[in-house]
Each structure stands twice: as structure tokens, then as C-alpha cells.
Amino acid sequence: MKVTLLQQDIVWADPMENQHLSEQQICAAPQSDLYVLPEMWSTGFATEPAGIAEEGEECRSLLWMKRMATQMDAAIAGSIAIHAEDGSYRNRFYFVTPDGKVEYYDKAHPFTYGGEHLRYTPGNKKVIVNWRGARFLLQICYDLRFPCFSRNSAEGEEAYDAIIYVASWPTPRIEAWRTLLKARAIENQCYVLGVDRVGTDPACVYCGGTEFVDPYGRVVEACPDNEVSTLTQDIDLDALNAFRKKFPVLQDAD
């Protein structure tokens, strides 16, 4: 399976412009099975979502994701700040496939240090999606710091092959991001796709840190720091399963 990770400079509070820029990046990297955008890719990380979060659970950026999934015959994934129909705000990670199927995960760990918990309603469950034979655990930014929540299983409904972390992880803490991506790959014997942004927003500066990490904790490829860029890599399920069979760590987990 071929996956493409998009490192972006998100335009603050401008979904239409961010859709346009994302479309350019995606179309420049054809023939992937999955394209992954950062956290709150359509607006930037808005801890004060009123007037910025997109309205409704069929917002324009989700409709754009559906259109792009059909156009590219690939899944499109990334989180959007939405004002849901029940009146709550959600940091919602959508995973959209070409057949129109939409699965989503609501961020379970709001970033309290930045005040996200004051406005956003957290999710309460893990979400694993199956796409073209690979199983993906959906995670958002601050979730990376909580390994018990993302713990893999050797088999059953809790088992997965890769974790996707979409993020707005700022430059001062970027070494924590890079270290924890490797840790999650090693302890869960899985691929880790870490997608972060560059540029600035009203609160932070971002240098990137988008990485494709293999189950051994090796960074196979990373986007250059401080550059809008993409990377495309293969998830090799045969190699992953052979590694797990040879060294069955997950079977001994607590």
C-alpha cells in the first residue's frame, strides 16, 4: 500500500484556500492509496473555534475530501474543526474512501495546556479503519503522549497495522514529537505516520516533523523542516507480519 503524507503551511481560518492548496499537493503525488493531511488542516489549530470551525457535520471541507477521494481513487484523511449539529465543537479526524464511506474519530485528549478542553467535546473511543487490507488507528496530536490509549493487540478488533497521528505540534516540543513517534512504532510493532505542519498561527511556530516510521522505530523518510512538501512510502504488510511472527512481542503484552 502506498501512502502520501502532506506537510502543509495552513492558511489561518480559510478553508477554501486550504482546500485549493491541498488539492495541488495531492494531484502532484498521484497513484497513492491514502493521502494524509495535518490536524485542523482546513483552518489551523483553533482553540477558540467560534466563527472559525466549519459548520455542520457535512461541512464543505468534508465534501471536498469526498470529491478528492473519488477523483484520486484513494482515501483522504485529516482532522477538521467542526461545529456539530448538537451544538458541540469537535476536533474530528475524518477518513474518507472513494465509495463515499466516511469514518471518523473525535480527539480523546484535548490539549489542556492550550485550552482546547474549554471549547471542544472529547471523543471516548478508539477508532480503527480497514482500507485496502491495512488497518489504521486514527489519532490526533496530543494523543501521542498517552501510550495506554493507543496500545496495540496481537489479534481481534483492537489490532492494527499502522497509527496515523495528524498534528499541529509546535517547534519548541518537536524533539518530543520525534521521539514519541518512534516509541509508538516500537512498542506496538506497527508503522507510524506522523503528519505535522509548518508555518505560524496566532499562537505558535511550526517546523514540520512529518515522518514515516517503520515497526523497528526507524525513520524511513521525513519531510524537510520548514518546507511545504510531501513524502510517499509503502506499507509492506508482508514484512510487518513476518516481523511480528518472528518476534511476537504483542502476544506478551499486559
At 57 the pLDDT is: 85
Dist. CA 228–CA 8, nearest whole Å: 5
Which residues are tagged catalytic?
39, 107, 141
State pLDDT tens for residues 232-244: 999 999 999 999 9
CATH number at residue 213: 3.60.110.10
The pLDDT > 70 percentage for the chain reads 100
Cell numbers found for residue 123: 471523543
* Alpha carbon 15 to chain centroid, angstroms: 18
Output the nine-digit C-alpha cell for 134.
491495512
Which tens digit of pLDDT belongs to each residue from 162-215?
999 999 999 999 999 999 999 999 999 999 999 999 999 999 999 999 999 999
* Sequence-ordered list of residues with C-beta below 8 angstroms from that of 170, at least 6 positions apart, any chain: 204, 205, 206
User: What is the distance of C-alpha 128 from the center of its chain?
Assistant: 12
According to the model, what pLDDT value does residue 42 have?
98
Number of domains in the chain: 1
| Residue 8, CA distances (Å) to 23, 36, 130, 222, 224 in order | 12, 11, 26, 13, 11
**What value does the mean pLDDT of the chain take?**
97
Give the per-residue pLDDT at 231: 98
Residue-wise pLDDT tens digits, 128-143: 999 999 999 999 999 9
Say if residues 32 and 65 touch (Cβ distance below 8 Å).
Answer: no
pLDDT at 250: 95
Show the domain range for 184.
2-252
Helices 60-72 + 15-27 axis angle, to 10: 10
CA distance 4 to 161: 16
Dump the DSSP string for 53-103. SEESTT-HHHHHHHHHHHHHTSEEEEEEEEE-TTS-EEEEEEEE-TTS-EE
